[in-house]
A and B are shown apart, each in its own frame.
Chain A
Amino acid sequence: MSRLATGVKLQAYSFFRRPLNVALLLIIPPLVIEGYAASMQAFPEMPFMETPPTDVGRMSGAVFSAAFLTGIFGLFQVISSLNADRRLVLTGYPRVTLLVTRIATILGFSLVVSGISYAVLATSVDVKAPALAYLFLVLSGIVYGLLGVVIGSAVPRELEGSIILLFVVDADAFFSSGFISLDSFLPKLFPLHYPHSLFESAVVDGTYISNDVLYAVVYILALSVIALIVFTGSMSQGSNVKQRVSGWLG
């Protein structure tokens, strides 16, 4: 337990000791939420929209900022501490404990970012079920945080890792923006689909759809298992991407 607490404190300290990181955490959510709302202002109420466009924009902005901020944090957390983690493993530190530390830090981070996003949203949107809405925001943060851990462990380089994260984020941001029309199962496979729909239900009706909760939980569990495999594997392999890719290819 004390090992876990030390790891979490260390990661939290290394992030929050930089004033710029804290400033970005405070600036990005309002910017994204109000930015989404401003871009929706010009949209007419389309048939597929059941809520005023600006509110749809604000909700999408809240989910996106909570998720994406946590995702990048998860990615950089793993990459920046990879060498230190390998040394800890050599000295007998259990790999799973290290991973749990990373996930616990992501959870803490997601709680903070979601709190900020929620607070910004609640100033302009009437939230029907505040606790549920906050919970689903945290959920979206955890999904992306885990994704960051998976990518950071598989490709431990900042530029390449960020580009891989973009493969998911770019499409996800557009799909879940609420103002494009899609008719495929594909968007449902993206990480923000279910958290976004759960969050929207909690804000608008104060309810949730059990199936969506189930899918979101399955998504998180699947990502956790993948994170476990990739993260523990990364503790014993070379940090070179080429080595890693050749390792995968046998």
Chain B
Amino acid sequence: MRIGYTRLRTVVWTTLKENMRNPVLLVLGLFLPIYLIGVINFAAPDDSVRVMLPKGGGDTAVEIGLRNLYGIIMASSAVALIGGLTGMFVIQRAKQSDSRLVVVGYGPGELIGARFLFIGLMVAVVIGVTVGFLALFVVPELIAWFVLGLLVASLIYGMAGILVGVIFDKLAGTYIILFAPLLDILIFGYSSVVNTDVDVWFRVLPSYHPLQVMFDSAFTHQMDTLANLGWSLIYLVVLSGIAISVFYWVTRSG
């Protein structure tokens, strides 16, 4: 897979220009996490709940305010949804043009790189705004690890979005990419954070490990979830590999 950096820059720049022409997307993407974190902070009671978090090989009980707990769950779901939707629609919109670009000499590697860079950029901006707004209510103890957990969760869904966008049409793809994070984070993820004895299959869901990292880094002074971070990264690398292969195959075959 060859990559010409001038071409890569050109495709990233045109994708950016195309999306900046329509600032509604950026505004919505930035406002969604702010709105969701704000709404849940307004609606949740000022109570706290005891959550078991990993500590030195075992578990330790930590009191977490419901607003903070729900706020982090909402922030994760918003960022994952934006990642997934951006991945899916960037690929959907670029499908035809990318096949034409391959015909005129662009390498699939350059196109894949450009699309990934755009998704990464969008996710980075949304995460910046999300963490900034979340900090008004809860400042994670280990903020760099927290951002890393959020970033990995979002990129996992960004890659899933690319896969879904390549394989499915818009309606079916939207069904999948909207239902998946909502169930995975809001329902299963929330459940796995507040309960330690969840079924084993919860652990293979995309958000399980990133959420463990986020809660550990948000509410304890020491990172005890490096293994979870490792699993999250493996998840991301495997999914990226599959997404790159499928995207490569589709753009080459036109």
Contacts and interface: CB of A to CB of B under 8 A. Distances in A.
Nearest to A175: B43
B176 A24 contact: yes
B42 A184 contact: yes
B129 interface: no
B172 A21 contact: yes
A39 B191 contact: yes
A180 B187 contact: no
Interface in A1-56: 15, 18, 20-21, 24, 28, 31-32, 35-36, 38-43
Interface residues of A, number: 50
Given A76-B174, A241-B22, A177 B182 contact: no
B175 A43 contact: no
A186 B43 contact: yes
A136 B176 CA distance: 25
A180 B70 CA distance: 9
B45 A35 contact: no
A209 interface: no
Given A158-B89, A163-B82, A170-B36, A42 B198 contact: yes
Contact of A24 (B85, B172, B183): B172
Contact of A163 (B22, B29, B66, B74): B29
A182 B70 CA distance: 11
B192 to A, nearest CB: 8
Interface residues of B, number: 50
B25 A163 contact: yes
B44 A182 contact: yes
Given A76-B174, A186-B39, A160 B25 contact: yes
A177 B28 contact: no
Interface in B75-120: 77-78, 81-82, 85-86, 89, 92
A43 B188 CA distance: 12
Interface string A152-164: 0001011110111
A24 B188 contact: no
B85 A163 contact: yes
Interface in B166-191: 168-172, 174-176, 178-179, 182-183, 186-188, 190-191
A173 interface: yes
A18 B169 contact: yes
Interface string A168-204: 0111011101011111101100000000000000000
Given A18-B172, A174-B186, A163 B44 contact: no
B195 interface: yes
B199 interface: yes
B96 to A, nearest CB: 15
A166 B178 CA distance: 8
A159 B85 contact: yes
B163 interface: no
Given A42-B197, A174-B73, A184-B42, 14 more contacts: A41-B199, A42-B191, A76-B170, A158-B89, A158-B170, A160-B24, A166-B32, A167-B36, A169-B182, A170-B32, A180-B66, A183-B43, A186-B43, A242-B21
15 contacts: A18-B172, A72-B171, A158-B92, A159-B85, A159-B86, A162-B178, A163-B29, A165-B178, A167-B35, A171-B36, A175-B43, A184-B43, A186-B42, A187-B43, A245-B24
9 tightest A-B CB contacts, nearest first: A42-B195, A39-B191, A159-B89, A183-B45, A184-B43, A163-B28, A186-B43, A39-B187, A182-B43
